[in-house]
Structures are given as structure tokens and as C-alpha cells.
Amino acid sequence: MDEPYSGGCACGAIRYETTDKPLVEGDCQCRDCQRKSGTGHGSYLTFPSRQRVTLAGQAAHWDIAADSGAVKTRAFCPTCGSPVYLTFAAMPDLFTVHAASLDDPSRYRPQVVTYAERGYAWDHLDPALLKFNKMPPAPG
């Protein structure tokens, strides 16, 4: 069995774990992710089943309309402020975590860049990554 993906906030009040493998791992350069991260992009792993994620602790939530108009919910620790995970109203089964929230962030292997058209020259991402100017359509 593969090692589970686990992580949480900086103070340890929120924890998550899943044995699923990520569907996609990517960097997003949309303006919301830039503001949330305080830099040029956000880095995320998206897992296929929210139901197979074990969550401990109480996150604070903030809903925001994405560029697509769909609502995404950012979950963060009310104590230390660390961003931990995201969920999407239009895709309720998915569970997305911030790469830096992993216990072992070296497991993050980006595959794509979304909203590349909003990237800045000073935000150096791997030039070999597949780039999309917007969010690509969901498979299926």
C-alpha cells in the first residue's frame, strides 16, 4: 500500500489524510491564488474523493466566485491562518489541498499551470509544465 497523503495547518489544529492518489497536481496563477498565497501562484493537489479524506479540527471557510463563476470554498485555520484545503460547489466530490500544507511537501509533483496568462515574469515556474491560459474543462 502506498503511503497516505497527510498534512494540516502550521499550528496542528487542522489535520487531513487520504490514501487516494491525486488526480492532478498543479500551479494556478489566477489573481485569487496570487492574493491568497502572497506570491505569483498557488500550488495544489486535487484528490478524487472528499469522502475518503479524514479531517480533524475545525476550519474557517470563505466562499469566493472563481473566474468561471463557480463557487470555491477556501478552508483555513482560524488560529494560525494557514490555508489548508479547497472544495468546489460544482465538483463536490473533489478535495484539493495546498501543497505546502503536506507533511512532506516534496511529494508535490506539478503537472500543469492554470491561468498562465495571468503569470508574472518574476514568478518562475517549470517551463516544461503544460500550460493553460484559463481553467481547462473537467475530464469526462
Cell, residue 22: 491525486
CATH number at residue 72: 3.90.1590.10
Q: Please report whether residue 136 resides in a domain.
A: no
| Rounded Cα distance, 125 and 23, in Å | 20
What is the percent of the chain with per-residue pLDDT over 90, rounded to a whole number?
A: 81
pTM of the model: 0.91
Q: Please report whether residue 74 resides in a domain.
A: yes
| Rounded Cα distance, 49 and 23, in Å | 10
What is the per-residue pLDDT for 59? 97
In the numeric block, the cell 500550488 is attached to 43
- Give the pLDDT confidence of 103-122 residue by residue, as tens digits: 999 999 999 999 999 999 99
Distance of CA 110 to the CA centre of its chain: 11
Count of structural domains within the chain: 1
**Confidence label for 140 from pLDDT (cuts 50, 70 and 90):** very low
